[in-house]
C-alpha cells in the first residue's frame, strides 16, 4: 500500500538514449510533481500537473516531456540523455491545487526516487 | 523570488546532544513552511510543517516555530539519536511548488 511509487529505482544508460520513469500515487491526490536532486542534494521543481493538466514547467529542456495519462500517474520521458541529466528524480503528489486552501492541501508526499546515471 | 537558506553542514553531534538547524526564508505573502528529512538511500519524508506565523510544528521530538518577524523556521531537537542521521531540508510553499533549501547533513555519533 505504498502511497507514491516510482519505477525503476535505478536506471543506468548511455548518452543519447531515451528513457522513461514512471510514477503512481494511490492517495487520490489531484496534483503531481517531478523534482530533480543533483549530486549536491539540491532539490528543484521541474513540472507539476493538476488533474492531468500541466501547471508548472520550470524552464526544463524540452528533451524532458512529462505525461499524465490520468491523475494518479505522472511519467517522465527523457530524450537524448546527457551526462548532466544524472541525478535522482523524485515524484511527489499533493491533495489539491489551490493557493490558500489551508489544511493539508499544500503538503507534498514524495516517492522513493529514481537514481539516473548517464554514462 | 522566494528562497530558503539553511545552515551549511555537515553537522556532527554526539548522541543525546541538542540540535539546532537554522533556516531562514524570503517570501512574498505568507507561505507554509516545512521540514523534510531524507534518510540514506530513501526519499523525502515530511517531518513537520507550520502554516502561519507563531505556529509550532512538531514530530518525533523535533520542533520548529514559524517566526514571521525574523523570517525563520529553525529545527530543534532536545536529544538526538544515531537514527536521526539524515539530510534535513527546509522548504516553503510558493504557489503550489515547494522551494527547498540546500539541505543540511546531520551525523550523530554514538
Q: Three-class SS string for chain A?
A: CCCEEEECCEEEECCCCCEEEEEEECCCCCEEEEEEECCCCCEEEEEEEECCEEEEECCCCCCEEEEEEECCEEEEEECCCCHHHCEEEEEEEECCCCCCCCCCCCCCEECCCEEEEEC
- Whether the pLDDT of residue A104 is over 70: the answer is no
**Is residue B43 within 8 angstroms of chain A, CB to CB?**
yes
CB contact under 8 A, A45 and B98: yes
- Whether the pLDDT of residue A101 is over 50: the answer is no
Residues of B in contact with A35 (CB under 8 A): 98
- Whether the pLDDT of residue B35 is over 60: the answer is yes
Region B51-63: what's the mean pLDDT?
95
Q: How far is A30 from chain B (nearest CA, A)?
A: 12
Region B23-41: what's the mean pLDDT?
92
- Whether the pLDDT of residue A28 is over 50: the answer is yes
Binned at pLDDT 50, 70 and 90, residue B48 comes out as: very high
Distance CA B68, CA B37 (A): 23
**Contact criterion met (CB below 8 Å) for A99 and B36:** no
Q: What is the mean pLDDT of chain B?
A: 94
- Whether the pLDDT of residue A117 is over 70: the answer is yes
Of A35 and A102, which is predicted with more confidence? A35
Per the DSSP assignment, residues forming a β-bridge with B17 are none
Which triple of cell numbers denotes residue A63?
A: 528533451
Region A103-114: what's the mean pLDDT?
82
Choose from B49, B50, B98 for mutation: most chain A CBs within 10 A.
B98
pLDDT of residue A98: 56
pLDDT of residue B68: 94
**Contact criterion met (CB below 8 Å) for A76 and A23:** yes
Residues of A in contact with B32 (CB under 8 A): 106-107
Residue pLDDT, tens place only, A61-89: 999 999 999 989 999 999 999 999 999 99
- Whether the pLDDT of residue A2 is over 80: the answer is no
Choose from A43, A48, A60, A93 for mutation: most chain B CBs within 10 A.
A43
Residues of A in contact with B87 (CB under 8 A): 41
Region A45-64: what's the mean pLDDT?
88
- Whether the pLDDT of residue A106 is over 80: the answer is no
Amino acid at each position: 500500500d505504498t502511497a507514491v511509487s516510482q519505477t525503476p529505482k535505478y536506471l543506468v544508460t548511455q548518452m543519447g538514449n531515451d528513457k522513461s520513469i514512471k510514477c503512481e500515487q494511490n492517495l487520490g491526490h489531484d496534483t503531481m510533481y517531478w523534482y530533480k536532486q543533483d549530486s549536491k542534494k539540491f532539490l528543484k521543481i521541474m513540472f507539476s500537473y493538476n488533474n492531468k493538466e500541466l501547471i508548472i514547467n520550470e524552464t526544463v529542456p524540452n528533451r524532458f516531456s512529462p505525461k499524465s495519462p490520468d491523475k494518479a500517474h505522472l511519467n517522465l520521458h527523457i530524450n537524448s540523455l546527457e551526462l548532466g541529466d544524472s541525478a535522482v528524480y523524485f515524484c511527489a503528489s499533493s491533495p489539491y491545487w489551490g493557493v490558500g486552501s489551508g489544511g493539508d492541501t499544500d503538503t507534498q508526499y514524495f516517492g522513493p526516487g529514481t537514481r539516473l546515471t548517464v554514462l | 523570488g522566494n528562497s530558503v537558506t539553511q545552515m551549511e553542514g555537515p553537522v556532527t553531534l554526539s548522541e543525546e546532544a541538542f540540535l539546532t538547524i537554522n533556516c531562514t526564508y524570503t517570501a512574498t505573502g505568507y507561505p507554509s513552511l516545512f521540514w523534510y528529512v531524507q534518510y540514506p538511500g530513501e526519499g523525502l519524508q515530511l517531518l513537520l510543517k507550520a502554516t502561519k506565523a507563531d505556529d509550532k510544528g512538531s514530530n518525533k521530538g523535533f520542533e520548529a516555530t514559524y517566526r514571521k518577524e525574523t523570517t525563520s523556521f529553525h529545527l530543534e531537537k532536545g536529544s538526538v539519536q544515531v537514527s536521526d542521521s539524515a539530510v534535513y531540508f527546509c522548504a516553503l510553499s510558493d504557489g503550489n511548488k515547494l522551494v527547498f533549501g540546500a539541505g543540511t547533513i546531520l551525523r550523530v555519533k554514538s
